[in-house]
Protein backbone atom coordinates (compact mmCIF):
# COMPACT_ATOMS: atom_id res chain seq x y z
CA UNK A 1 0.00 0.00 0.00
CA UNK A 2 1.47 3.34 -1.04
CA UNK A 3 1.98 5.89 1.71
CA UNK A 4 0.17 9.24 1.42
CA UNK A 5 2.60 11.88 0.22
CA UNK A 6 1.75 14.83 2.43
CA UNK A 7 4.65 17.07 1.43
CA UNK A 8 4.06 16.86 -2.30
CA UNK A 9 7.48 15.40 -2.79
CA UNK A 10 8.59 12.20 -4.50
CA UNK A 11 8.95 9.29 -2.07
CA UNK A 12 12.14 7.44 -2.87
CA UNK A 13 13.28 3.89 -2.08
CA UNK A 14 17.06 3.44 -2.09
CA UNK A 15 18.36 -0.04 -2.95
CA UNK A 16 21.80 -0.98 -1.63
CA UNK A 17 21.32 1.69 1.01
CA UNK A 18 24.31 0.49 3.05
CA UNK A 19 26.69 0.76 0.08
CA UNK A 20 29.02 3.58 -0.94
CA UNK A 21 26.55 5.10 -3.39
CA UNK A 22 23.50 4.14 -1.32
CA UNK A 23 24.78 6.03 1.70
CA UNK A 24 25.44 9.19 -0.31
CA UNK A 25 22.01 8.90 -1.94
CA UNK A 26 20.25 8.56 1.43
CA UNK A 27 22.14 11.59 2.74
CA UNK A 28 21.64 13.80 -0.31
CA UNK A 29 17.93 12.99 -0.65
CA UNK A 30 17.54 14.73 2.71
CA UNK A 31 19.17 17.85 1.22
CA UNK A 32 17.15 17.82 -2.01
CA UNK A 33 13.89 19.75 -2.38
CA UNK A 34 11.11 17.61 -3.79
CA UNK A 35 12.53 14.25 -2.71
CA UNK A 36 11.93 12.31 0.48
CA UNK A 37 13.59 9.12 1.68
CA UNK A 38 10.67 6.73 2.18
CA UNK A 39 12.45 3.38 2.16
CA UNK A 40 15.96 2.00 2.29
CA UNK A 41 16.88 -1.64 1.79
CA UNK A 42 19.90 -3.86 1.26
CA UNK A 43 20.62 -7.58 0.92
CA UNK A 44 18.91 -9.56 3.72
CA UNK A 45 22.17 -10.75 5.30
CA UNK A 46 23.71 -7.27 5.53
CA UNK A 47 24.74 -6.29 9.07
CA UNK A 48 23.07 -2.88 8.68
CA UNK A 49 19.54 -4.37 8.32
CA UNK A 50 17.31 -2.82 11.00
CA UNK A 51 19.61 0.16 11.61
CA UNK A 52 18.86 3.78 10.58
CA UNK A 53 19.62 4.42 6.90
CA UNK A 54 21.82 7.34 7.95
CA UNK A 55 22.45 8.67 11.48
CA UNK A 56 19.29 10.26 12.87
CA UNK A 57 17.02 8.98 10.09
CA UNK A 58 13.64 7.52 10.97
CA UNK A 59 13.95 5.20 7.99
CA UNK A 60 15.64 1.90 8.83
CA UNK A 61 17.36 -0.36 6.32
CA UNK A 62 14.94 -3.17 5.42
CA UNK A 63 15.48 -6.46 3.60
CA UNK A 64 13.33 -5.42 0.64
CA UNK A 65 11.08 -2.57 -0.52
CA UNK A 66 7.57 -2.49 0.90
CA UNK A 67 5.55 -0.28 -1.45
CA UNK A 68 5.90 3.07 0.34
CA UNK A 69 7.80 4.76 -2.48
CA UNK A 70 6.98 6.34 -5.85
CA UNK A 71 10.44 5.79 -7.24
CA UNK A 72 13.33 3.35 -6.81
CA UNK A 73 17.00 4.27 -7.05
CA UNK A 74 19.20 1.22 -7.59
CA UNK A 75 23.01 1.40 -7.40
CA UNK A 76 23.77 -2.19 -6.35
CA UNK A 77 25.05 -5.29 -8.14
CA UNK A 78 23.86 -6.98 -11.36
CA UNK A 79 22.65 -9.95 -9.29
CA UNK A 80 20.15 -7.67 -7.52
CA UNK A 81 18.70 -6.12 -10.67
CA UNK A 82 15.86 -8.52 -11.50
CA UNK A 83 14.35 -8.47 -8.00
CA UNK A 84 14.57 -4.68 -7.93
CA UNK A 85 12.88 -4.37 -11.33
CA UNK A 86 10.18 -6.82 -10.18
CA UNK A 87 9.57 -4.63 -7.11
CA UNK A 88 9.40 -1.51 -9.28
CA UNK A 89 6.75 -3.12 -11.48
CA UNK A 90 4.82 -4.60 -8.51
CA UNK A 91 4.62 -1.27 -6.66
CA UNK A 92 4.43 0.99 -9.72
CA UNK A 93 7.74 2.70 -8.93
CA UNK A 94 9.70 4.59 -11.56
CA UNK A 95 13.26 3.27 -11.53
CA UNK A 96 16.60 5.08 -11.79
CA UNK A 97 19.33 2.47 -12.20
CA UNK A 98 23.05 3.14 -11.94
CA UNK A 99 24.32 -0.42 -11.51
CA UNK A 100 27.09 -1.35 -13.97
CA UNK A 101 28.49 -4.68 -15.14
CA UNK A 102 25.13 -5.52 -16.77
CA UNK A 103 24.80 -8.08 -19.58
CA UNK A 104 22.46 -8.12 -22.58
CA UNK A 105 20.08 -10.27 -20.49
CA UNK A 106 19.98 -7.52 -17.85
CA UNK A 107 19.23 -4.89 -20.49
CA UNK A 108 16.44 -7.15 -21.76
CA UNK A 109 15.01 -7.24 -18.23
CA UNK A 110 15.18 -3.43 -18.07
CA UNK A 111 13.30 -3.19 -21.39
CA UNK A 112 10.64 -5.58 -20.07
CA UNK A 113 10.13 -3.56 -16.88
CA UNK A 114 10.01 -0.38 -18.96
CA UNK A 115 6.81 -1.70 -20.56
CA UNK A 116 5.14 -1.10 -17.17
CA UNK A 117 7.07 1.75 -15.48
CA UNK A 118 9.49 4.51 -16.54
CA UNK A 119 13.11 3.31 -16.25
CA UNK A 120 16.30 5.31 -16.71
CA UNK A 121 19.59 3.35 -16.67
CA UNK A 122 22.88 5.19 -17.03
CA UNK A 123 26.44 3.97 -16.48
CA UNK A 124 27.40 7.46 -15.36
CA UNK A 125 25.16 10.21 -13.97
CA UNK A 126 27.67 13.07 -14.13
CA UNK A 127 26.95 15.92 -16.55
CA UNK A 128 30.60 16.20 -17.56
CA UNK A 129 30.83 12.54 -18.51
CA UNK A 130 27.62 12.66 -20.51
CA UNK A 131 29.08 15.54 -22.52
CA UNK A 132 32.27 13.48 -22.90
CA UNK A 133 30.28 10.52 -24.31
CA UNK A 134 29.15 12.75 -27.18
CA UNK A 135 32.55 14.41 -27.71
CA UNK A 136 34.43 11.08 -27.73
CA UNK A 137 32.45 9.92 -30.75
CA UNK A 138 32.66 13.25 -32.58
CA UNK A 139 36.45 13.40 -32.19
CA UNK A 140 36.90 9.82 -33.39
CA UNK A 141 34.76 10.47 -36.46
CA UNK A 142 36.72 13.64 -37.33
CA UNK A 143 40.17 12.08 -36.88
CA UNK A 144 39.57 8.75 -38.63
CA UNK A 145 41.40 5.44 -38.45
CA UNK A 146 44.91 6.90 -38.68
CA UNK A 147 44.50 7.83 -35.00
CA UNK A 148 44.87 4.93 -32.56
CA UNK A 149 42.17 5.03 -29.88
CA UNK A 150 42.97 3.81 -26.37
CA UNK A 151 40.49 4.19 -23.50
CA UNK A 152 42.07 4.15 -20.05
CA UNK A 153 39.98 4.02 -16.89
CA UNK A 154 40.88 3.95 -13.19
CA UNK A 155 38.69 3.15 -10.17
CA UNK A 156 39.03 2.23 -6.50
CA UNK A 157 40.21 -1.21 -5.44
CA UNK A 158 36.70 -2.42 -4.46
CA UNK A 159 35.07 -1.99 -7.87
CA UNK A 160 33.64 -5.31 -9.03
CA UNK A 161 33.25 -4.93 -12.79
CA UNK A 162 35.87 -4.19 -15.45
CA UNK A 163 36.10 -2.34 -17.69
CA UNK A 164 33.81 0.24 -16.11
CA UNK A 165 30.33 0.77 -17.49
CA UNK A 166 31.43 4.31 -18.29
CA UNK A 167 34.43 3.13 -20.33
CA UNK A 168 32.15 0.75 -22.22
CA UNK A 169 29.72 3.60 -22.91
CA UNK A 170 32.62 5.72 -24.26
CA UNK A 171 33.55 2.83 -26.58
CA UNK A 172 29.89 2.44 -27.60
CA UNK A 173 29.67 6.16 -28.45
CA UNK A 174 32.85 5.95 -30.55
CA UNK A 175 31.53 2.85 -32.34
CA UNK A 176 28.21 4.56 -33.06
CA UNK A 177 29.93 7.65 -34.46
CA UNK A 178 32.39 5.70 -36.64
CA UNK A 179 30.32 2.74 -37.82
CA UNK A 180 32.39 0.27 -35.78
CA UNK A 181 31.01 -2.50 -33.58
CA UNK A 182 31.64 -3.38 -29.93
CA UNK A 183 31.90 -7.07 -30.90
CA UNK A 184 34.33 -6.75 -33.81
CA UNK A 185 36.40 -3.60 -33.29
CA UNK A 186 37.08 -3.34 -29.54
CA UNK A 187 39.89 -5.13 -27.65
CA UNK A 188 39.63 -5.33 -23.87
CA UNK A 189 43.34 -5.58 -23.15
CA UNK A 190 46.69 -6.43 -24.71
CA UNK A 191 49.13 -9.10 -23.56
CA UNK A 192 52.13 -11.01 -24.98
CA UNK A 193 53.04 -10.61 -28.64
CA UNK A 194 50.11 -8.45 -29.64
CA UNK A 195 51.05 -5.39 -31.74
CA UNK A 196 48.39 -2.74 -32.31
CA UNK A 197 46.11 -3.39 -35.26
CA UNK A 198 44.90 -0.38 -37.26
CA UNK A 199 41.45 0.99 -36.59
CA UNK A 200 40.88 -0.86 -33.35
CA UNK A 201 39.75 0.60 -30.02
CA UNK A 202 41.54 -0.79 -26.98
CA UNK A 203 40.42 -0.53 -23.36
CA UNK A 204 42.77 -0.56 -20.37
CA UNK A 205 41.75 -0.81 -16.71
CA UNK A 206 43.44 0.33 -13.49
CA UNK A 207 42.15 -0.66 -10.02
CA UNK A 208 43.85 1.15 -7.16
CA UNK A 209 43.29 2.77 -3.78
CA UNK A 210 40.34 5.12 -3.46
CA UNK A 211 40.05 6.49 -7.03
CA UNK A 212 36.44 7.62 -7.52
CA UNK A 213 36.54 7.42 -11.33
CA UNK A 214 38.94 8.62 -14.04
CA UNK A 215 38.55 8.13 -17.80
CA UNK A 216 40.86 9.22 -20.60
CA UNK A 217 40.53 8.65 -24.32
CA UNK A 218 43.78 8.89 -26.30
CA UNK A 219 43.69 9.55 -30.03
CA UNK A 220 47.29 9.13 -31.20
CA UNK A 221 48.89 9.37 -34.63
CA UNK A 222 52.47 9.81 -35.80
CA UNK A 223 53.54 13.19 -34.43
CA UNK A 224 50.58 14.12 -32.22
CA UNK A 225 48.22 12.91 -29.55
CA UNK A 226 44.86 14.29 -28.50
CA UNK A 227 43.56 13.42 -25.02
CA UNK A 228 40.00 13.77 -23.74
CA UNK A 229 39.66 13.19 -20.03
CA UNK A 230 37.25 13.28 -17.09
CA UNK A 231 37.99 12.97 -13.39
CA UNK A 232 35.27 12.48 -10.78
CA UNK A 233 36.53 13.66 -7.39
CA UNK A 234 33.47 12.69 -5.33
CA UNK A 235 30.67 10.10 -5.59
CA UNK A 236 28.26 12.96 -4.82
CA UNK A 237 28.55 13.93 -8.49
CA UNK A 238 26.92 10.62 -9.47
CA UNK A 239 24.45 10.71 -6.58
CA UNK A 240 23.28 14.26 -7.39
CA UNK A 241 22.96 13.31 -11.06
CA UNK A 242 20.91 10.26 -10.07
CA UNK A 243 18.64 12.41 -7.92
CA UNK A 244 18.19 14.96 -10.73
CA UNK A 245 17.27 12.03 -12.97
CA UNK A 246 14.78 10.84 -10.34
CA UNK A 247 13.00 14.21 -10.27
CA UNK A 248 12.95 14.29 -14.07
CA UNK A 249 11.69 10.70 -14.42
CA UNK A 250 8.88 10.97 -11.86
CA UNK A 251 5.51 11.21 -13.61
CA UNK A 252 6.83 10.16 -17.03
CA UNK A 253 4.93 7.45 -18.92
CA UNK A 254 6.30 3.89 -18.86
CA UNK A 255 9.30 3.48 -21.14
CA UNK A 256 13.07 3.34 -21.33
CA UNK A 257 14.83 6.68 -20.88
CA UNK A 258 18.46 7.80 -21.05
CA UNK A 259 20.56 10.68 -19.78
CA UNK A 260 20.47 12.07 -23.32
CA UNK A 261 16.68 12.34 -22.97
CA UNK A 262 17.03 14.02 -19.59
CA UNK A 263 19.73 16.46 -20.71
CA UNK A 264 18.07 17.15 -24.06
CA UNK A 265 21.20 16.07 -25.94
CA UNK A 266 21.27 14.75 -29.53
Q: Annotated catalytic sites, by residue?
A: 155, 159
Pairwise CA distance, residues 147 & 76, whole Å: 37
* Cα distances (Å, whole numbers) of residue 162 to 153, 216, 241: 9, 15, 22
Alpha helices by DSSP H, listed for 148-235, are 165-178, 182-185
**Shortest Å distance, C-beta 78 to ligand NAD:** 7
Return the residue nearest ligand NAD (CB atom).
19
Contacts to ligand NAD by CB under 6 A: 15-16, 18-22, 41-43, 46, 75-77, 80, 98-101, 122-125, 238
Q: What is the rounded CA–CA span in Å between residue 48 and residue 76?
A: 15
Which is closer to ligand NAD, CB of 134 or CB of 143?
134
**217: helix, strand or coil:** strand
Please say which residue, 121 or 219, places its beta carbon nearer to ligand NAD.
Answer: 121
Smallest gap from residue 43 Cβ to ligand NAD (A): 4
Least gap, CB of 199 to ligand NAD (angstroms): 29
Q: Sort 223 into a burial class: Cβ within 10 Å, 0-12 / 13-18 / 19+.
A: exposed
CB of 20 to ligand NAD, least distance (A): 4
> CA distances (Å), 28 to each of 31, 58, 237, 261, in order?
5, 15, 11, 23
* CA dihedral over 70, 75, 76, 81, signed as positive or negative: positive
Kindly give, in sequence order, each residue whose CB lies less than 8 Å from that of residue 6, ignoring residues fewer than 6 positions away: none
Closest separation between CB of residue 135 and ligand NAD, Å?
Answer: 18
Nearest to ligand NAD of 18, 174 (CB atom): 18
Amino acid sequence: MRRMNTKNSVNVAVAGAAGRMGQRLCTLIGETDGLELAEAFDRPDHQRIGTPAIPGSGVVIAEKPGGAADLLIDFTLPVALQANLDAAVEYGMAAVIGTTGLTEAHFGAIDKAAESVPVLWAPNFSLGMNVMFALAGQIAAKLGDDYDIEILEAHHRFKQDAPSGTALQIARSICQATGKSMQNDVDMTRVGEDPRKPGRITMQTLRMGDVVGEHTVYYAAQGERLQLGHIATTRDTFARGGLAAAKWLHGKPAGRYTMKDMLGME
